[in-house]
Structures are given as C-alpha cells and as structure tokens.
Structure 1
Amino acid sequence: MPAQMPAVVVDGLENQFRLLKVWEAPDRDAFMREVASEVRGVALGGHTKVDAAFMDRFPKLEIVSSFGVGYDYIDAAEAGRRGIMVTNTPDVLTDEVADLTVGLLIATVRQLPQVDRYLREGRWLEKPYPLTATLRGRKVGILGLGRIGKAVARRLEGFGLPISYHGRNRQADVSYDYYPTLAGLAEAVDILISVAPGSAETDKIVNAEVFRALGPDGIFVNVGRGSVVDEPALIEALRSKTILSAGLDVFADEPRVSKELIDMEHVVLLPHVGSASVETRRAMGQLVVDNLVSWFAGKGPLTPVAETPHRR
C-alpha cells in the first residue's frame, strides 16, 4: 500500500495478507526497492501514479486494486499488456454521487451557499436576498451517460426536466435524445452536467466552444474529473458571463483550486466529496479488499476495469 487508505482497507488486508505500508517507511523509495521482489498486489487510492515505470519495479505484480471509480492515474492499458489485473470500485458509490450531483445543481441554480452566507452575515436584516435563477423550464445535458450519469438522469426526470446526452456512441437501450457532438448537446440545453471519466480522449473536451454553445443562461456542473474541463476557458466563461454559473466538485490540479474560481461569488465549489459519506466510503474500501481476496483465492477479480478483462 503506497499511501495510507481508510481503516477498512488497512484492517481488511492485514487480516488476509502481509501488508507493506510504504507510507510508514522513513525512506519510501529504499523500502520499495527492498520489498519489490515480494509484491504481488497493490492497493491504492489515487495517491500514486501507476505507469510502466511503477510496474517495472515489481516483477511479480499480479493485481492493482484501486479505490474509486475513476482510475486515470493508472495506465490500465499497459497493465493489460503485461497481464496485470486492475480493479476499481463501481456501483457502490453510484447513488451517493448521483445524490450529490443533484444537490450541487440545486445549490448552484438557487445559490444556496451564498444565501446561507448572506443570512449569517446579518444582511437579511438590511434587505431580502436577490431573486435567483430556477430549474423550471430548463433542459439538461449529460456528458458521460454511464452508471452515475444514468442515476443522475433518473433523479432529474423526477424534477420534470428533459434529458439529453453525449458520449462516444448512442446507447440503444436509452430513450434520451443523443447528440453526436458535445457542442451540439451544449447548444440544445442550458444545464450541462459532466460525469465523464478522465482520459486522453476526454482531456479538456469541455472548452470555450462548449461554453459559448451553452450560453449566458447556462449552468455547468462537474462531478467527473477536472481534466475533462479546460479550466482557464471555464474561468473566462464565468468572468465574461458567457455562462451563468458553475457547480464544481472536481478540479484540474486537486487539491489546489484556482484562486480565480475561489474569488468568484457566483460559483459553488466542493472539495471532491461526491462519494464522501461514511457508509459509501466504507463500501468502496471493502470492495478494494474483496477484489484482492477474491483474486488471490483463485476466483478472479470482482470488478475488473475494461482495459484488463478477465473471464472467470
């Protein structure tokens, strides 16, 4: 384990394996060189880049069990070429992230954090808070209609909002309107929600063109990956009122957040807490453990990623 993870992972793995806690070593590189020939599995939570050089260090490595749905910090294609399994933790966080997404959208449209600050500062005593925008009459576009994207869409259907989406391909079993280009989707809607994973394919695809298409009444919400957004273009779109507002749970250089965004009163910023409830994080941690236990029991991985397919 290169960096510390939740107690459910540490305790669960210590009960089953010899767990090498790299973060406790005075000299981490020296410690990893010392134990490299023994390591068959790695458990990590996004703190460590797993590329070809990392894999080269561990000649007996069989599996990397990752905490979270996104695994853009792992070169899973390279792992697949080497026969190294990569697993993640899908499904157990779907509802939590979808709930947070809807909450972030409402908070952004109705300016809930700003209203809260207004009251706490005693300004309600002076005059009522200004009127806000509304969800009524809006159309929603979703970038990345996977498990979480579909869960968000189902929730927003309950608000009476029409749903459209963009992805690599049209999904045959989905009734929502499909747009083959992201700019086309943005032009057709006034709320754009990104649930897209980080990858070379999605890097900075939400750009100035997309924000212009979204328009001056547009709301942008991102709960996927910060790398999907051209952050300087987003800042300029917010500054110039090319779009109305944004609600962001992810950023380009986490945990560092651009001062320009922090200084903007009309945006809502969260510190990547989409799945951050006690129950959900416990379930994610347990799945990290369960993948490793299942693999070393000879039963195969429970949740392999697409780049490293495995047939039981």
Structure 2
Amino acid sequence: MPATVLVLVETINDYLPILEHQGFHLILAPTPAERAEAISTHGERIDAVLTRGPLGLFADEIAALPALKIICVIGAGYEHVDLQAAADRGITVTNGAGVNASSVADHAMAMLLSMVRDIPRCDAAVRRGEWPKIMRPSLAGKRLGILGLGAVGMAIAKRAANGFDMTVSYHNRQHRSDVAYSFCSTPTELARASDFMVVATPGGLGTRSLINRSVLDALGPNGFLVNIARASVVVTADLISALEQRRIGGAALDVFDHEPQVPDALKSLSNVILTPHVAGLSPEATQGTVELVGRNLMAFFSGQPVLTPIDLPASASAMPPENNAAL
C-alpha cells in the first residue's frame, strides 16, 4: 500500500506529480479549514506530512495522526513544528535547508538594491509624469552585515562580495574558519560594522528578537535592514519606531509576524519595501525542494537514512525519572 502524505503547503502544486510518480498518495489541505478536515477525516491513514516552518505541525495534530512516521518541512525553518511531540512518538523530521538558497539570495539582493537605490519611488514618479533627479548611494565598497551565515547567508555574501565589491561581515552561532569574512561576536557589533544588514538566520526561540532597538540604533540613520528570514528575529515594534523616527535609513521586508496581515504602520512608511514572503519562490527552488522531499520520503520508507534529518530533543520516555516527573 502506498504511503499517504498530507500536504499543507500551498505553493507547490505544479510539482506534486514528482511525489505521485514515486507512488505516494497525496491529500492536499492548504487552508486551515481543509487542514482540520483532512486530519479529522483521514488522520488514521496519514503516514507523512509535508509542511513549512510558518505552517508547522502542532502537538494536538500529531496526536491525531496515529500512523504518522515522518514530517518533511520545506525550507530551512521548522519553528512551528512541535519537535518534542515528534520525538516522543519517534517521528522523523526533515527539512530542505539550502535548496532555495539561490532564490532567497537573489531576492535579498534585489530588495537591497531597490531600497538603497530607491527604485519604487523613482518608478512611481515617472508613472506620474515626473522626472526627479534622486541621488542615492552605490552598493560598491559598502559594508554588508549578514546575520546567519548558513546556505542562504553564504549565497548572499558571495553575491555581495564578488558582484558588488562589498565588504562582508557576519554574526553566527559559531565562528566559521572556512570563510574569509569578518566575524562579529554580537548582532550589535555586526550592526555597528555595517552599512546594510541582512537577516538570514532561521526562526525559532534561539533567534527570537535578536534585532532590537539597540541593534537598530547601532545600524544608524544611514543604515538599511533587509529581512528575508523570519519576522520573529526582529522586534517589529522597535523596527517601526526606528523607521518612523528615521533612526535607520530604511528596511526591506519579505516576512511578517502574522502573515498575511501586515501592520498598517509599515504600509504607510515611505522608507520601507514590502514583499509577500516570496523570496524562496522560484520554479527552480520549488522543483528542487519537492525533489528533496521525494528523496527523503523514498529513503525513509525503504528503510534507509533520510538525507536532511533535523536533530530532535530527547523523548520524554528517555529522560531520567526526575525530569519526567517535571513534565
């Protein structure tokens, strides 16, 4: 009997035949209502779930899927997948880190260029019949700070250094000895060393609110912030305040706290560029992502190691008795 996969992701339909041709039976549930209905109606026969970080998979949903064996997350982030609940059930979790790095890096550079060169305002002016001579900074020779030097951060760094002659610094959980870029020990130090700063770190508790008022003040009134990672990394209220008071030069945002809702305060600002969480979307990235999901599923259901496993916390049953008692 083919494995049944519950698909919660709404942007990959054109590439789902990749999984169907591998023999998987798919149940599509891209809306909250369809998701709840699918789990209620088909929960007992769902072997795998395909989701993404912001959509997640929660403990009560995992409990309602008694046959669930593997959760495949599209993209690097898995912040709303309950890893403890998965670990307690012995459920494997995988992600797609790095597959869409080129697409995200392209979008980050496009947003940076658009913001620094003020392309939206120039475009709007020409459409109104105006011909303003707007003077804006060049990227060449500027200092770029990257928060999170994983696959996406590295792709951005290469584009900035090799394509735009920028000096690159980074802050990471650990210093990387395999790169020539300058390491900064804190986000504030990185901001102080940057003209432009790109957030490229995963979401989750470990990165929540890394960019706050003190970091934004260190970036300064001529500094620009780009976030193509997760909104949770930036304190939105602090960012709005910094933008309104011109304590930073501008921001380009592809991610928001309560998508698809975007704060009106951000929409009303002229020093902000907004896109609807599309940095990782390209035909190439989407196909590669679904192909990786297929390889992980094929490996798992044939008894082989998955390609991109996520480290899970210790299961409750494996904890010492005193720790179990505290749960």
- Contact persistence 1:141–1:192 (CA under 8 A): yes
Residues 1-312 of structure 1 mapped to structure 2, 5 A cutoff? 1=6, 3=8, 5=10, 6-15=12-21, 16-22=23-29, 29=36, 31-46=38-53, 48-124=55-131, 128-158=132-162, 159-307=164-312
SS at match of 2:170: strand
**1:93–1:205: structure 2 CA closer, same or farther, 3 Å change rule?**
same
SS at match of 1:86: strand
SS at match of 1:20: strand
Q: For 1:266-308, what per-residue CA distance to the aligned partner results, in whole angstroms no more than 9, with x for missing partners? A: 2211111112222221221222233212211222312222338
**What is the RMSD of the two structures over their aligned residues, measured on CA atoms?**
2.4
Aligned length: 306
- Contact persistence 2:141–2:167 (CA under 8 A): no
Given the two structures, how large is their TM-score scaled by the length of structure 1? 0.90
Shift of residue 233 of structure 1? Answer: 0.6
Shift of residue 225 of structure 1? Answer: 0.6
Q: For 1:228-247, what per-residue CA distance to the aligned partner results, in whole angstroms no more than 9, with x for missing partners? A: 11011101101101001111
Q: Percent of counterpart pairs with the same letter?
A: 35
**1:86–1:307: structure 2 CA closer, same or farther, 3 Å change rule?**
same
- Contact persistence 2:72–2:95 (CA under 8 A): yes
Aligned residue identity for 1:13: L
Question: Structure 2, unaligned stretches of length 5 or more?
Answer: 1-5, 315-327
- Contact persistence 2:146–2:200 (CA under 8 A): yes
CA distance in 1, matches of 2:16, 2:106: 28
- Contact persistence 1:140–1:161 (CA under 8 A): yes
Given the two structures, how large is their TM-score scaled by the length of structure 2? 0.86
CA distance in 1, matches of 2:238, 2:30: 37
- Contact persistence 2:74–2:95 (CA under 8 A): yes
